[in-house]
Amino acid sequence: MSEGATPPPVTPHRPELSRRSALLGLAAIGGVGTAGIGGLAYAGGRFPADRLTPARFADRFEQVYGKHAGFRRNHAKGVSASGYFTANGAGAAVSRATVFVPGRTPVTGRFSLSGGLPDAPDAAPTVRGLGLLFPLPDGEQWRTAMINLPVFLDRTPQGFYARMLAAQPLPGTGKPDPEKMAAFLAEHPETAKAMAVVKRHPPTSGFDDSTYNALNAFRCTNEAGDTVPVRWALKPAGPVRPADTNAPPPGRDHLFDALIAKVAQNPLRWRLLLTVGRPGDPTDDATAPWPGDRRTIDAGTLTIDSVQTEAAGNARDVNFDPLILPDGIAASDDPLLSARSAVYSQSFTRRAGEPKTSSPVDVAKAQQTQKGQ
């Protein structure tokens, strides 16, 4: 090698190229390349193969419920809704979020049943969900996804992931394998405890008279800068009826049909209740209820005055990610929150890229049948 053409560079001693140093150099380069690729593969969760990643979470939903292109991996069956939230100003005591300033915020919502089947037959014990999106001034948003259980069944994402397999109905009986479930509960006493709490709160008659709980704790900060732990819930403003378990076997969509009929008659209303935790109340365990005497703030009224078949541009295309929060509300140390955000994103990414088929919950069809009756 000569440095011929270009002028001077005063070259101090340059070590001779030797085979040994060349080989050492090549080995060093190989090491850098391998470490880079291996390091990134490790960071990206490629190995070990049993690491719980959001993709493997979404795979498990598909494994348990089958793959239904274009639909959510969980809470697949649902209907879009809209209305508004009227704040009375009381929420400002704990949070400076603009949603609590007296006035109206439009709302996009979605009523759903848990599980990955978009056409599952409605059943009273199936967990009911309500997702809400509040668009706020200056591009801020508040999104929340709530369910009608009084506590969540899992404390950790790992628990949820394992329970999905343990609770998977067997092909023959349609019931979970009792041995698998018993083994799971032995390992997860918090789930057994939560199930006992759920038993004491049987489901109501329908979507319209259900209480929807956010279950995860959040941290609310007010204008003065004081931060407190908060769990919120929507309590129906109207009368609550227990589910009728003696009724004749109803139609596949009877819960959704009833919701569609109710909204056509009258707007539905819920009160938004903020329950304020005290020091020592668990914020990292959604299976543990807070003591019943905690301060509760009635922050205003949610009104749902219309439901729509899932379609482009409505709640179908929304990811009700529980960590899309306005200033004044922040995540707590609950490990479910980050996991939910990650898995919802994975589910949203998959369904956003898939071809769409029409939703089994068809509002126009239901209304037509109801008119005919």
Q: Which two tokens stand for residue 20?
A: 């040994």
Q: Does 146 bind ligand HEM (CB under 6 A)?
A: yes
Q: Report H helices in the chain.
A: 19-43, 54-65, 157-166, 178-187, 189-199, 254-265, 335-352, 363-372
DSSP 287: T
Task: Compute how many other C-beta atoms are within 10 angstroms of the C-beta atom of residue 323.
Answer: 17
Any residues with CB less than 8 A from the CB of 260 and at least 6 apart, and which? 79, 307, 363, 366, 367, 370
CA contacts within 13 A on the Cβ side of 184: 22
Alpha-carbon distance 298 to 296, whole Å? 7
CB of 225 to ligand HEM, least distance (A): 28
Active site residue 68: no
Beta carbons of 81 and 307 less than 8 angstroms apart: yes
CB of 1 to ligand HEM, least distance (A): 36
Alpha-carbon distance 99 to 96, whole Å? 8
The binding track of 71-90 with respect to ligand HEM, each residue x by CB under 6 A or -, is: -xxxx--x------------
Q: Does 44 bind ligand HEM (CB under 6 A)?
A: yes
Contact of residue 214 among other proteins, ligand HEM, none (CB under 5-8 Å per partner type): ligand HEM
The catalytically annotated residue of 75, 188, 201, 254 is 75
Q: Which stretch binds ligand HEM (CB under 6 A): 66-74, 243-251, 260-268, 358-366?
A: 66-74
Q: Does 20 bind other proteins (CB under 8 A)?
A: no
CB of 363 to other proteins, least distance (A): 21
Nearest to 188 by CA among 218, 164, 212: 164
Q: Which residues within the stretch 151-170 sit at the binding site for ligand HEM (CB under 6 A)?
A: 152, 157, 160
Q: Does 301 bind ligand HEM (CB under 6 A)?
A: no
Task: Decide whether 93 or 151 has the Cβ nearer to ligand HEM.
Answer: 151
Residue 330: strand pairing partners: 219
Alpha-carbon distance 233 to 146, whole Å? 8
Task: Decide whether 13 or 199 has the Cβ nearer to other proteins.
Answer: 13
- Please report which helix (H) or strand (E) contains residue 80, including its range: strand 77-87
Task: Decide whether 290 or 348 has the Cβ nearer to other proteins.
Answer: 348
3-class secondary-structure state, position 345? helix
CB of 60 to ligand HEM, least distance (A): 9
Q: Which of 112, 308, 309, 314 binds ligand HEM (CB under 6 A)?
A: 112
CB of 339 to other proteins, least distance (A): 4
Q: Which stretch binds other proteins (CB under 8 A): 73-81, 145-153, 184-192, 318-326?
A: 318-326
CA contacts within 13 A on the Cβ side of 330: 13
Burial class (CB in 10 A: 0-12, 13-18, 19+), 129: buried
Contact of residue 292 among other proteins, ligand HEM, none (CB under 5-8 Å per partner type): none
Length of the chain: 373
Helix, strand, coil content of the chain in percent (nearest 5): 30, 20, 45
Beta carbons of 293 and 245 less than 8 angstroms apart: no
- Number of residues engaging ligand HEM in binding (CB under 6 A): 33
Q: Which of 52, 90, 120, 243 binds other proteins (CB under 8 A)?
A: 52
End-to-end CA distance of the chain: 94
- Number of residues engaging other proteins in binding (CB under 8 A): 63
Q: Which stretch binds ligand HEM (CB under 6 A): 171-179, 199-207, 230-238, 338-346?
A: 338-346
Rg (CA), the chain: 26
Task: Decide whether 151 or 339 has the Cβ nearer to other proteins.
Answer: 339
Enumerate binding residues for other proteins (CB under 8 A): 1-6, 9-10, 12-15, 17, 21-22, 24-26, 28-29, 32-33, 36-37, 39-40, 43-45, 51-55, 57, 138-141, 157, 313, 317-319, 321, 323-324, 327, 331, 335, 337-339, 341-343, 345-346, 348-349, 351-353
Enumerate the active-site residues.
75
Give residues in contact with ligand HEM (CB under 6 A): 44, 57, 72-75, 78, 110, 112, 129, 131, 145-147, 152, 157, 160, 214-216, 286, 319-320, 336, 339-340, 343-345, 347-349, 351
